[in-house]
Amino acid sequence: MAAVSSGDLDKVESLASSGASLNTLTEQGTPLAAAVKAGEDRIALFLLSEGAAPDRASADGVTPLMIAAEEGHRRLVRLLLSAGARVNAKDSEGTTPVIRAARNGHLSVVKVLLAAGANVNVSQGGRSLLMHIVEGGDLLTAEMLLAAGADVNYRGSNGTTALDLARASNNRDLEMLLIQAGAEI
């Protein structure tokens, strides 16, 4: 873990060739998760090529793909997806990689995840992804989610819609976008 976190590819290769486990799960996660967190593309590629499990999750269900999505590491997201990482995996709170990317404003990562089959209508905490994004006021991400087929009329567990949230925050741009996308008035 220390060699991965410090970006020492030679040390990682040496440890792997001497039999160190690539899928060890520590309190900090797996070596692959540490490489992703540190943005170490080359180390992540090496670990995956040597058999590191792309979906090995921490105790709370967080996978390397979720970390890459949250951090906005588009290259690592693509690498993990090509290695077979589950695009719609959920952690213990029901958060998926696309939710993490969208909440952190990583539009290019959201696009990659949606193109790989991420569920645009995923919900968490009684609200759809679109509702979470509208609540945060992110017009560009909301527009992209709608273009990808997000349900503009999804009703949350308390009966509210994305349009209700846009109106509650007095965000006229989002309100107009939702109405143009077919929101029920």
- E-strand ranges in 57-147 read 123-124, 127-128
The 3-state DSSP class for residue 29 equals: strand
Please write the tens of the pLDDT for every residue from 63-114: 999 999 999 999 999 999 999 999 999 999 999 999 999 999 999 999 999 9
- Kindly state whether residues 102 and 37 are assigned to the same domain: yes
- Do 133 and 107 lie in a common domain? no
Q: How confident is the model at residue 125 (pLDDT cuts 50, 70, 90)?
A: confident
Name the nearest CA neighbour of 47 among 73, 18, 83.
Answer: 83
Show the domain range for 172.
120-185
Tell me: pLDDT of 42 over 90. yes
Name the pTM for this structure.
0.92
Which CATH number covers residue 89?
A: 1.25.40.20
124 and 142, same domain (yes or no):
yes
State pLDDT tens for residues 128-185.
Answer: 999 999 999 999 999 999 999 999 999 999 999 999 999 999 999 999 999 999 999 8
Cβ burial 122-147 (10 Å sphere, 16+ → b, else e): bbbeebbbbbbbbbeebeebbbbbbe
